[in-house]
Structure 1
Amino acid sequence: MNDGDDCRREAADWMILLQERPDDDAVQAEFERWRREPACDAAWRELDHVRDLIRQAGALASARPIGFARRRATILPAAIAACFAGLFAGWAFLPLVFADVTTGTGQMRVLRLADGSRVTLAPRSAIALDGPSRQVRLLSGTAFFQVRHDAAHPFRVLAGEAEATDLGTAFEVRRDDDGLRIAVREGGVRAACRDGVIAPIDLRPGDMTALDCAAGRYRSSTSAPSAMASWTQGQLIVTDRPLRDVVAALRPWHRGLLMARGAGMARHVTGVYDLRHTDQALTAMRRAHGATVRQITPWITIVTAD
């Protein structure tokens, strides 16, 4: 029996298939069999309801006077797509309540801290500043830190049970559902779990580590230091990474919901993508890697690779 998460993923696949083959009786019969499972029926109803809301929002915006329509055209699709993302993609909104600084889709912010350090916050990210102490909590998303070193007062970035301590450096921290990812451009960083389940890991320029404190494991790799935090320049530089990682990196910059499907998403790719023009990046992905890009509505895009 499928669980709720499986059904949510499959619901999007069924939406594509039913659009492509609306008159196929065999497809319709299989779809009805799939919906007999209560969790899958509930997932489909959620998806269909959100799609109807988006359609209604578009109709409402077009029916209003020009000035109002422009505002609705900007606000409603983004709000509804965000709700859809919360239902089907797992983006957590609760941490934003506790944040001191947040960013929206495609938005970056640069902060200068009291100690002279600088933080560049990536789109769809949130941080909390712990008063005068040299400590920042990354609640969601990604941030790039250029730290003013002070050996007597280390600079720390906390994310859940994981932490990164500055050893005189510039480094990127990204919070994922399964933990913390740290990449060092300059200097050094010490990555650790606060409960001590993993021995501290010292990272140098070009080092990256994915730290999962809940599971008690980590995975390390290397890349060119110049490629670290390339998003601060509006670029995504990918070297031998799964295609699903490319789609994930585009999401915070893409207006609406961007979903990835298919076994081909595990295929490793290399390339440079323009984050400020995600439609062009998706086109390049389609041409270079054989992905299929389907726009279900103006605010829902599904990338498939078999």
Structure 2
Amino acid sequence: MQQPDWTLLARYLEGTTTPEERARVEAWCAADPAHRALLKRLEVIWRTPPARPGAWDAEAAWLQVARQVRAAGTGRPPRRSRRRKLPYGVRVALVLVLLLIPLGVLLWRMTSPAPSRVAEVVTWDSWRTTTGEQKILRLADGTRIWMAPESQVEVQQPYMQHRTLRVRGEVYVEVAEASGVRLLAGPVTIRDIGTRFLVRADHPEALVQVVVEEGLVAMQAAARADSLVVAAGMLGRYDAQQSRLRVLRLSDQDLRAYFSWMQGTLVFQTASLEEVQRQLLRWFGVHFVFPPTHRQAHLTASFQLRQPIAEIAEAIGLALHLRPLARGDSIIFQPTQPE
């Protein structure tokens, strides 16, 4: 927690954090003296009671009356004020002014429009992964996010009723109970209903996919008024070129293929070679180039993420009857026999 999580700090100050959240705040303070100083200032503000302007001091008034009573009992007249009395007419005018000022303020408040609220400053905490890198994020409400390589997650701060996230690449989201998440993937808005789901948005302007493992999510495209609900075991897909939302039922094998990278395996289930190229570039940083004759080909294969790229290229070549040639950061596949 490099940037202040204001919601977490507020719960810390009021004493409602879990032991884990309290440890996070204390670790954040220990990481930087400026963090500890900020928390000290917040504690002072939090514990300082608000002042009551114009409060009536009853005790001081009673002491004044008591002094006058004691003076009357001893026969001594109370001390006279040395201030010169104002003329009667001036005193009446001052009383009227003092009475009319509060009345005027009240009328002004009743007739003037309500002041506009100052908008809160919205910031975005951002995380990225590079080629071959994975990250796991845990938000303050318990929501967890697994990030595949070459992905980005932005979390809006502050949040009230629900979390707002922006994603690019591929992420798996496990939403905490009693927490709401609104996820923005290019032109698509995704709202969860207590779920675990995966989002692919490699090309947000063209294609967004949502695969639900548990629960429900709702998808809505910015260019469309309608929305659709994606249940467990289904794929929600938005194609910007056709401006179309679709829901497909996945087989168990297809469903496992989407989530396989979280167990260290890359699974292709009748995948197009375009999808194979995109995934291998993301995970290994190597461009796989296939001949035009195989544009319509599909691949079914499984690879370990720690497997040498040369072995993966050989296996793909055998499956497609092609010969791989390594050239720099590319592997070019050629037909095994001249055409």
* Band of TM-score, shorter chain: 0.5 to 0.7
1:110 matched to 2:136: yes
Gap change, CA 1:173 and 1:112, over 3 Å in 2: same
Gaps of 5+ in 1: 1-97
Match of 2:166 among 133, 137, 156: 137
RCO higher in structure (CA 8 A, sep ≥6)? 1
> Does the 8 Å CA contact 1:146/1:170 hold for their aligned counterparts?
yes
Match of 1:289 among 304, 320, 323: 320
Match of 1:262 among 272, 281, 292: 292
Match of 2:227 among 194, 200, 205: 200
Q: What RMSD in Å do the two structures reach over aligned CA positions? A: 2.4
How far off is 1:287 after superposition?
1.3
> Does the 8 Å CA contact 1:188/1:202 hold for their aligned counterparts?
yes
SS at match of 2:314: helix
In 1: Cα distance, 2:334 partner to 2:209 partner:
25
> Does the 8 Å CA contact 1:106/1:252 hold for their aligned counterparts?
yes
How far off is 1:176 after superposition?
2.7
How far off is 1:296 after superposition?
1.6
> Does the 8 Å CA contact 1:162/1:179 hold for their aligned counterparts?
no
Gap change, CA 1:291 and 1:170, over 3 Å in 2: farther
Identity of aligned residues (%): 27
Count residues with an aligned counterpart. Answer: 204
How far off is 1:219 after superposition?
4.2
The residue that corresponds to 1:148 in the other structure is 176
How far off is 1:304 after superposition?
5.5
In 2: Cα distance, 1:304 partner to 1:180 partner:
32
Gap change, CA 1:258 and 1:264, over 3 Å in 2: closer
Could you tell me the TM-score, scaled by structure 1's length?
A: 0.60
Structure 1 residue identity aligned to 2:207: G
Structure 2 residue identity aligned to 1:208: L
SS at match of 1:266: coil
Gaps of 5+ in 2: 1-123
Gap change, CA 1:279 and 1:114, over 3 Å in 2: farther
Gap change, CA 1:261 and 1:168, over 3 Å in 2: farther
How far off is 1:185 after superposition?
1.4
Q: Deviation digits for residues 8-51 of structure 1, max 9, x if unmatched?
A: xxxxxxxxxxxxxxxxxxxxxxxxxxxxxxxxxxxxxxxxxxxx
How far off is 1:256 after superposition?
4.1
In 1: Cα distance, 2:220 partner to 2:208 partner:
10
The residue that corresponds to 2:219 in the other structure is 191
> Does the 8 Å CA contact 2:164/2:184 hold for their aligned counterparts?
yes
The residue that corresponds to 1:171 in the other structure is 197
Gap change, CA 1:283 and 1:219, over 3 Å in 2: farther
How far off is 1:99 after superposition?
7.2
Gap change, CA 1:304 and 1:188, over 3 Å in 2: farther
The residue that corresponds to 2:310 in the other structure is 279
Gap change, CA 1:219 and 1:268, over 3 Å in 2: farther
In 2: Cα distance, 1:260 partner to 1:132 partner:
47
SS at match of 2:157: coil
SS at match of 1:232: helix
The residue that corresponds to 2:86 in the other structure is none
Gap change, CA 1:130 and 1:144, over 3 Å in 2: same
Gap change, CA 1:285 and 1:258, over 3 Å in 2: closer
Q: Deviation digits for residues 161-182 of structure 1, max 9, x if unmatched?
A: 1022111211110113212111
Structure 2 residue identity aligned to 1:165: R
> Does the 8 Å CA contact 2:270/2:300 hold for their aligned counterparts?
yes
Equivalent residue runs for 1:72-83 within 5 Å: none
The residue that corresponds to 1:57 in the other structure is none
The residue that corresponds to 2:332 in the other structure is 302
Gap change, CA 1:114 and 1:304, over 3 Å in 2: farther
Could you tell me the TM-score, scaled by structure 2's length?
A: 0.55
In 1: Cα distance, 2:220 partner to 2:146 partner:
22
In 2: Cα distance, 1:165 partner to 1:271 partner:
33
Gap change, CA 1:304 and 1:143, over 3 Å in 2: farther
> Does the 8 Å CA contact 2:125/2:157 hold for their aligned counterparts?
no
Structure 2 residue identity aligned to 1:269: L
In 2: Cα distance, 1:220 partner to 1:280 partner:
36
The residue that corresponds to 2:147 in the other structure is 121
Gap change, CA 1:145 and 1:303, over 3 Å in 2: farther
In 1: Cα distance, 2:333 partner to 2:212 partner:
30
1:226 matched to 2:252: no
> Does the 8 Å CA contact 1:164/1:189 hold for their aligned counterparts?
yes
Gap change, CA 1:285 and 1:194, over 3 Å in 2: same
Equivalent residue runs for 1:35-114 within 5 Å: 100-114=126-140
How far off is 1:260 after superposition?
4.1
In 1: Cα distance, 2:230 partner to 2:334 partner:
35
1:217 matched to 2:240: no
> Does the 8 Å CA contact 2:197/2:210 hold for their aligned counterparts?
yes
